[in-house]
Structure 1
Amino acid sequence: MVNLGVSLGGLAAVIAVQVDTTFAYSLLIAGNAISFAGCAAVVAMLPRTEPNRTEPNRTEPNRTEPQPTAGKT
């Protein structure tokens, strides 16, 4: 889907450059704004979910002594 969007955007840009009018560039900018509004509409329609909260792993011991680092002896 991304490749299609990039291809169509590039094609529209080539057409706008070839026509070389203010109206063509304005249409290109308006099309970009419409695509962003479409993406925002899709995100707004996603269902709301609760965050997945997990408890910390309590099975490992709490290590308070410094751990050896690589390369140092």
Structure 2
Amino acid sequence: MFDILTLLQSLLPEIKVTTMRQLSSFVMAMLVMSGRVTMLGISRWAGIGGSYRTVMRFFQTFILWGMIVLDE
């Protein structure tokens, strides 16, 4: 499971630190969730710093995915 977080670290040069921290927290929350994955569910499983408002802000963040290149 922590291999996913290692993979996400390669995105750090292109993504802001705050967005990266939120993404890591939300990915871990989605991995442990069962059933429907909703913003409310993510906020409940994300723990500290994962309020519903923070989830809303994250999903409104504009990320240029085409500019991100993963080194293999």
TM-score by length of 1: 0.33
Larger RCO (alpha carbons 8 Å, 6+ apart): 2
The higher radius of gyration belongs to 1
| Length-normalised TM-score, structure 2 | 0.34
